[in-house]
Protein backbone atom coordinates (compact mmCIF):
# COMPACT_ATOMS: atom_id res chain seq x y z
CA UNK A 1 0.00 0.00 0.00
CA UNK A 2 1.49 3.32 -1.07
CA UNK A 3 0.25 6.56 0.44
CA UNK A 4 0.82 10.00 -1.00
CA UNK A 5 4.15 11.64 -0.18
CA UNK A 6 3.68 14.49 2.32
CA UNK A 7 5.78 17.19 0.64
CA UNK A 8 7.18 16.62 -2.88
CA UNK A 9 5.07 17.80 -5.79
CA UNK A 10 3.59 14.84 -7.64
CA UNK A 11 3.24 15.21 -11.41
CA UNK A 12 0.96 13.43 -13.84
CA UNK A 13 3.81 11.11 -14.80
CA UNK A 14 3.01 9.11 -11.66
CA UNK A 15 -0.28 7.99 -13.23
CA UNK A 16 1.36 6.18 -16.15
CA UNK A 17 0.62 6.59 -19.84
CA UNK A 18 -1.79 5.40 -22.52
CA UNK A 19 -1.63 5.89 -26.27
CA UNK A 20 -4.64 7.42 -28.00
CA UNK A 21 -4.08 6.08 -31.50
CA UNK A 22 -0.51 7.29 -31.90
CA UNK A 23 -0.64 10.03 -29.26
CA UNK A 24 0.81 9.16 -25.82
CA UNK A 25 -0.97 10.81 -22.91
CA UNK A 26 -0.64 10.64 -19.16
CA UNK A 27 -3.56 8.84 -17.58
CA UNK A 28 -4.52 11.84 -15.47
CA UNK A 29 -5.74 14.61 -17.73
CA UNK A 30 -7.79 17.75 -17.25
CA UNK A 31 -11.42 18.45 -18.13
CA UNK A 32 -12.17 22.06 -19.11
CA UNK A 33 -15.95 21.97 -18.68
CA UNK A 34 -15.89 23.85 -15.38
CA UNK A 35 -13.36 26.50 -16.41
CA UNK A 36 -15.76 29.06 -17.96
CA UNK A 37 -18.08 29.18 -14.95
CA UNK A 38 -18.34 28.47 -11.25
CA UNK A 39 -20.55 25.61 -10.16
CA UNK A 40 -20.86 22.21 -11.77
CA UNK A 41 -23.43 22.43 -14.55
CA UNK A 42 -23.68 23.73 -18.10
CA UNK A 43 -26.57 26.09 -17.51
CA UNK A 44 -27.62 29.27 -19.31
CA UNK A 45 -27.25 31.50 -16.24
CA UNK A 46 -23.89 30.12 -15.07
CA UNK A 47 -21.69 32.61 -13.20
CA UNK A 48 -18.53 33.29 -15.24
CA UNK A 49 -15.25 32.29 -13.61
CA UNK A 50 -12.48 34.84 -13.21
CA UNK A 51 -10.44 34.73 -16.44
CA UNK A 52 -7.07 35.00 -14.74
CA UNK A 53 -7.95 32.16 -12.38
CA UNK A 54 -8.93 29.90 -15.27
CA UNK A 55 -5.74 30.63 -17.21
CA UNK A 56 -3.65 30.03 -14.09
CA UNK A 57 -5.24 26.61 -13.61
CA UNK A 58 -4.57 25.59 -17.22
CA UNK A 59 -0.92 26.62 -17.05
CA UNK A 60 -0.55 24.91 -13.70
CA UNK A 61 -1.90 21.70 -15.25
CA UNK A 62 0.87 21.78 -17.85
CA UNK A 63 3.46 22.50 -15.14
CA UNK A 64 2.20 19.38 -13.34
CA UNK A 65 2.79 17.22 -16.40
CA UNK A 66 -0.77 17.02 -17.71
CA UNK A 67 -0.71 16.57 -21.50
CA UNK A 68 -4.35 15.62 -22.19
CA UNK A 69 -7.02 18.33 -22.04
CA UNK A 70 -10.69 17.66 -22.75
CA UNK A 71 -12.79 20.56 -24.00
CA UNK A 72 -15.64 21.52 -26.37
CA UNK A 73 -16.97 24.62 -28.07
CA UNK A 74 -20.23 24.24 -26.13
CA UNK A 75 -18.40 24.68 -22.83
CA UNK A 76 -19.05 28.35 -22.23
CA UNK A 77 -20.64 30.83 -19.83
CA UNK A 78 -21.93 34.33 -20.66
CA UNK A 79 -18.36 35.70 -20.67
CA UNK A 80 -16.04 32.71 -20.95
CA UNK A 81 -15.35 29.98 -23.52
CA UNK A 82 -13.32 26.92 -22.54
CA UNK A 83 -11.73 26.69 -25.99
CA UNK A 84 -10.71 30.33 -25.97
CA UNK A 85 -9.25 29.96 -22.48
CA UNK A 86 -7.25 26.91 -23.57
CA UNK A 87 -5.96 28.79 -26.63
CA UNK A 88 -5.07 31.92 -24.66
CA UNK A 89 -3.34 30.01 -21.86
CA UNK A 90 -1.47 27.39 -23.85
CA UNK A 91 -1.41 28.33 -27.54
CA UNK A 92 1.21 30.20 -29.56
CA UNK A 93 2.58 27.58 -29.76
CA UNK A 94 1.00 24.76 -27.82
CA UNK A 95 3.32 22.33 -26.00
CA UNK A 96 4.48 19.75 -28.54
CA UNK A 97 3.19 16.79 -26.50
CA UNK A 98 -0.21 18.29 -25.63
CA UNK A 99 -3.25 16.34 -26.84
CA UNK A 100 -6.49 18.31 -26.99
CA UNK A 101 -9.75 16.36 -27.24
CA UNK A 102 -13.00 18.06 -28.16
CA UNK A 103 -16.58 17.05 -28.91
CA UNK A 104 -19.21 17.73 -31.52
CA UNK A 105 -22.90 16.93 -31.73
CA UNK A 106 -24.59 19.06 -29.03
CA UNK A 107 -25.49 22.66 -29.83
CA UNK A 108 -26.04 25.68 -27.57
CA UNK A 109 -27.45 29.04 -28.58
CA UNK A 110 -25.52 32.21 -27.79
CA UNK A 111 -27.66 32.70 -24.66
CA UNK A 112 -26.51 29.29 -23.37
CA UNK A 113 -29.77 27.45 -24.00
CA UNK A 114 -29.57 24.00 -25.50
CA UNK A 115 -30.71 23.50 -29.09
CA UNK A 116 -31.39 20.41 -31.18
CA UNK A 117 -28.37 18.20 -31.84
CA UNK A 118 -26.37 18.85 -34.99
CA UNK A 119 -27.25 16.91 -38.11
CA UNK A 120 -24.48 14.94 -39.86
CA UNK A 121 -24.12 17.70 -42.45
CA UNK A 122 -23.64 20.29 -39.69
CA UNK A 123 -20.73 18.48 -38.02
CA UNK A 124 -18.13 19.98 -40.35
CA UNK A 125 -19.15 23.45 -39.21
CA UNK A 126 -18.74 22.38 -35.58
CA UNK A 127 -15.30 20.91 -36.30
CA UNK A 128 -14.24 24.11 -38.06
CA UNK A 129 -15.49 26.22 -35.15
CA UNK A 130 -13.41 24.17 -32.71
CA UNK A 131 -10.40 24.62 -35.00
CA UNK A 132 -10.96 28.37 -35.08
CA UNK A 133 -11.43 28.75 -31.34
CA UNK A 134 -8.44 26.58 -30.49
CA UNK A 135 -6.21 28.12 -33.16
CA UNK A 136 -5.24 24.80 -34.72
CA UNK A 137 -5.08 23.38 -38.23
CA UNK A 138 -6.32 19.97 -37.10
CA UNK A 139 -7.94 18.44 -34.02
CA UNK A 140 -6.12 15.67 -32.17
CA UNK A 141 -9.24 13.81 -31.03
CA UNK A 142 -12.89 14.51 -31.76
CA UNK A 143 -15.68 12.72 -29.90
CA UNK A 144 -19.09 12.25 -31.42
CA UNK A 145 -21.26 13.10 -28.44
CA UNK A 146 -24.50 11.20 -28.86
CA UNK A 147 -27.68 13.02 -27.90
CA UNK A 148 -30.13 10.13 -27.74
CA UNK A 149 -29.91 9.06 -31.39
CA UNK A 150 -30.70 5.43 -32.07
CA UNK A 151 -27.76 5.01 -34.46
CA UNK A 152 -24.28 6.52 -34.53
CA UNK A 153 -23.51 5.46 -38.10
CA UNK A 154 -24.48 8.54 -40.12
CA UNK A 155 -22.94 11.07 -37.74
CA UNK A 156 -19.79 9.03 -37.23
CA UNK A 157 -19.47 8.51 -40.96
CA UNK A 158 -19.49 12.28 -41.46
CA UNK A 159 -16.65 12.64 -38.96
CA UNK A 160 -14.74 9.80 -40.63
CA UNK A 161 -14.81 11.81 -43.86
CA UNK A 162 -13.36 14.82 -42.03
CA UNK A 163 -10.66 12.55 -40.65
CA UNK A 164 -9.81 11.44 -44.17
CA UNK A 165 -9.66 15.12 -45.18
CA UNK A 166 -7.03 15.78 -42.47
CA UNK A 167 -9.11 17.97 -40.17
CA UNK A 168 -9.19 15.31 -37.45
CA UNK A 169 -6.44 12.93 -36.34
CA UNK A 170 -8.43 10.47 -34.21
CA UNK A 171 -12.08 9.76 -33.44
CA UNK A 172 -13.93 8.86 -30.26
CA UNK A 173 -17.45 8.32 -28.98
CA UNK A 174 -19.23 9.87 -26.01
CA UNK A 175 -22.48 9.10 -24.20
CA UNK A 176 -22.92 5.83 -26.07
CA UNK A 177 -24.10 2.26 -25.70
CA UNK A 178 -22.05 -0.79 -26.74
CA UNK A 179 -23.95 -1.14 -30.02
CA UNK A 180 -22.88 2.38 -30.99
CA UNK A 181 -19.25 1.35 -30.55
CA UNK A 182 -19.80 -1.63 -32.86
CA UNK A 183 -21.42 0.61 -35.48
CA UNK A 184 -18.60 3.13 -35.37
CA UNK A 185 -15.79 0.57 -35.52
CA UNK A 186 -17.25 -0.73 -38.78
CA UNK A 187 -16.73 2.75 -40.24
CA UNK A 188 -13.41 4.02 -38.82
CA UNK A 189 -11.04 3.36 -35.89
CA UNK A 190 -12.25 4.44 -32.45
CA UNK A 191 -9.49 5.35 -29.99
CA UNK A 192 -11.57 6.41 -26.98
CA UNK A 193 -15.00 6.16 -25.36
CA UNK A 194 -16.15 8.83 -22.92
CA UNK A 195 -19.17 7.93 -20.78
CA UNK A 196 -20.43 8.88 -17.30
CA UNK A 197 -18.96 6.46 -14.76
CA UNK A 198 -17.41 6.44 -11.31
CA UNK A 199 -17.15 4.60 -8.02
CA UNK A 200 -20.74 3.70 -7.08
CA UNK A 201 -22.04 5.69 -10.06
CA UNK A 202 -23.49 4.28 -13.28
CA UNK A 203 -22.20 0.82 -12.46
CA UNK A 204 -23.52 -0.63 -15.71
CA UNK A 205 -20.65 1.05 -17.54
CA UNK A 206 -18.12 -1.40 -16.08
CA UNK A 207 -18.77 -3.95 -18.82
CA UNK A 208 -18.20 -1.41 -21.60
CA UNK A 209 -15.07 -0.12 -19.88
CA UNK A 210 -13.69 -3.66 -19.72
CA UNK A 211 -14.52 -4.29 -23.39
CA UNK A 212 -12.72 -1.10 -24.36
CA UNK A 213 -9.65 -2.43 -22.57
CA UNK A 214 -9.83 -5.67 -24.52
CA UNK A 215 -10.03 -3.72 -27.78
CA UNK A 216 -7.17 -1.35 -26.92
CA UNK A 217 -9.57 1.60 -26.67
CA UNK A 218 -9.30 4.18 -23.90
CA UNK A 219 -12.25 4.61 -21.55
CA UNK A 220 -12.52 8.13 -20.18
CA UNK A 221 -15.17 8.56 -17.44
CA UNK A 222 -16.80 11.91 -16.95
CA UNK A 223 -18.64 12.88 -13.78
CA UNK A 224 -16.39 10.28 -12.16
CA UNK A 225 -16.48 12.15 -8.83
CA UNK A 226 -20.24 12.65 -8.87
CA UNK A 227 -21.04 9.80 -6.52
CA UNK A 228 -20.26 12.06 -3.58
CA UNK A 229 -22.64 14.69 -2.25
CA UNK A 230 -20.53 17.28 -4.06
CA UNK A 231 -18.87 16.80 -7.42
CA UNK A 232 -15.39 17.48 -6.08
CA UNK A 233 -15.70 14.54 -3.69
CA UNK A 234 -15.10 16.68 -0.62
CA UNK A 235 -18.65 17.24 0.57
CA UNK A 236 -20.74 15.42 3.12
CA UNK A 237 -22.43 12.16 2.19
CA UNK A 238 -19.33 10.33 0.95
CA UNK A 239 -19.38 6.52 0.89
CA UNK A 240 -17.98 5.27 4.22
CA UNK A 241 -15.55 2.95 2.43
CA UNK A 242 -14.12 5.87 0.47
CA UNK A 243 -13.81 7.98 3.61
CA UNK A 244 -12.04 5.14 5.46
CA UNK A 245 -9.48 4.61 2.69
CA UNK A 246 -8.90 8.36 2.46
CA UNK A 247 -8.17 8.56 6.19
CA UNK A 248 -5.76 5.64 5.98
CA UNK A 249 -3.71 7.38 3.30
CA UNK A 250 -4.04 10.96 4.46
CA UNK A 251 -5.77 11.61 1.14
CA UNK A 252 -9.01 13.26 0.07
CA UNK A 253 -12.06 11.25 -1.00
CA UNK A 254 -11.65 12.68 -4.51
CA UNK A 255 -8.11 11.30 -4.66
CA UNK A 256 -9.34 7.86 -3.61
CA UNK A 257 -12.02 7.94 -6.32
CA UNK A 258 -9.43 8.86 -8.96
CA UNK A 259 -7.05 6.14 -7.75
CA UNK A 260 -9.86 3.56 -7.83
CA UNK A 261 -10.75 4.60 -11.38
CA UNK A 262 -7.17 4.19 -12.58
CA UNK A 263 -6.99 0.79 -10.87
CA UNK A 264 -9.83 -0.53 -13.04
CA UNK A 265 -7.45 -1.07 -15.95
CA UNK A 266 -4.64 0.58 -17.93
CA UNK A 267 -7.19 1.87 -20.47
CA UNK A 268 -8.85 4.08 -17.85
CA UNK A 269 -8.04 7.79 -18.17
CA UNK A 270 -9.35 10.56 -15.91
CA UNK A 271 -10.27 14.14 -16.82
CA UNK A 272 -11.44 15.57 -13.51
CA UNK A 273 -11.87 19.32 -13.84
CA UNK A 274 -11.56 22.15 -11.36
CA UNK A 275 -11.07 25.89 -11.22
CA UNK A 276 -8.93 25.68 -8.07
CA UNK A 277 -5.12 25.22 -8.42
CA UNK A 278 -4.92 23.37 -5.08
CA UNK A 279 -7.65 20.93 -6.06
CA UNK A 280 -5.86 20.46 -9.39
CA UNK A 281 -2.63 19.53 -7.62
CA UNK A 282 -4.54 17.10 -5.40
CA UNK A 283 -6.18 15.46 -8.42
CA UNK A 284 -2.85 15.04 -10.19
CA UNK A 285 -1.22 13.67 -7.04
CA UNK A 286 -3.84 10.90 -6.95
CA UNK A 287 -1.89 9.27 -9.76
CA UNK A 288 0.71 8.25 -7.18
CA UNK A 289 -1.83 6.71 -4.78
CA UNK A 290 -1.65 2.91 -4.80
CA UNK A 291 -4.48 1.06 -3.07
CA UNK A 292 -4.02 -2.34 -1.45
CA UNK A 293 -5.93 -5.41 -2.62
CA UNK A 294 -8.01 -5.22 0.55
CA UNK A 295 -8.86 -1.56 -0.04
CA UNK A 296 -9.78 -2.21 -3.65
CA UNK A 297 -12.01 -5.10 -2.59
CA UNK A 298 -13.79 -2.85 -0.10
CA UNK A 299 -14.26 -0.11 -2.68
CA UNK A 300 -15.39 -2.62 -5.30
CA UNK A 301 -18.08 -3.85 -2.93
CA UNK A 302 -19.23 -0.28 -2.35
CA UNK A 303 -19.27 0.21 -6.11
CA UNK A 304 -21.46 -2.83 -6.65
CA UNK A 305 -24.03 -1.39 -4.24
CA UNK A 306 -24.26 1.76 -6.30
CA UNK A 307 -26.54 2.57 -9.18
CA UNK A 308 -27.07 5.52 -11.48
CA UNK A 309 -28.46 6.68 -14.79
CA UNK A 310 -27.71 4.89 -18.04
CA UNK A 311 -25.40 6.36 -20.65
CA UNK A 312 -28.30 8.22 -22.23
CA UNK A 313 -27.57 11.35 -20.19
CA UNK A 314 -24.66 12.98 -18.48
Distance CA 297, CA 145 (A): 33
Distance CA 193, CA 177 (A): 10
Catalytic residue among 75, 94, 197, 223: 75
3-state DSSP assignment of residue 114: strand
- Which residue from 268, 252, 276 is spatially nearest to 218, judged by alpha carbons? 268
Query: Phi and psi of 38, rounded to 5°?
Result: -85, 165
Per the document, the length of the chain is: 314
Residue 267 CA, distance from chain mean position: 13
Distance CA 251, CA 287 (A): 12
Cis peptide leading into residue 93 (ω within 30°): yes
Distance CA 100, CA 134 (A): 9
Is residue 66 within 8 A of residue 284, CB to CB? The reply is yes
Active-site residue flag, 75: yes
Catalytic residue positions, numbered = 75
Amino acid sequence: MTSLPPHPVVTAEASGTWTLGDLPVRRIGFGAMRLPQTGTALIPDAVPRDRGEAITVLRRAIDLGVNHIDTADFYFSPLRSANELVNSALGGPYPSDLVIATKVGPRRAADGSWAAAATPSELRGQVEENLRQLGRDHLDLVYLRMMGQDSAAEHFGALAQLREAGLIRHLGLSNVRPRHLDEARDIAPVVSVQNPYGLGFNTRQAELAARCGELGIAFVPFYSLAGAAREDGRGDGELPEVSAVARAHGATPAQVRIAWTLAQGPQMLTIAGTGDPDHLADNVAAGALRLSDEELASLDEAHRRGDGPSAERG
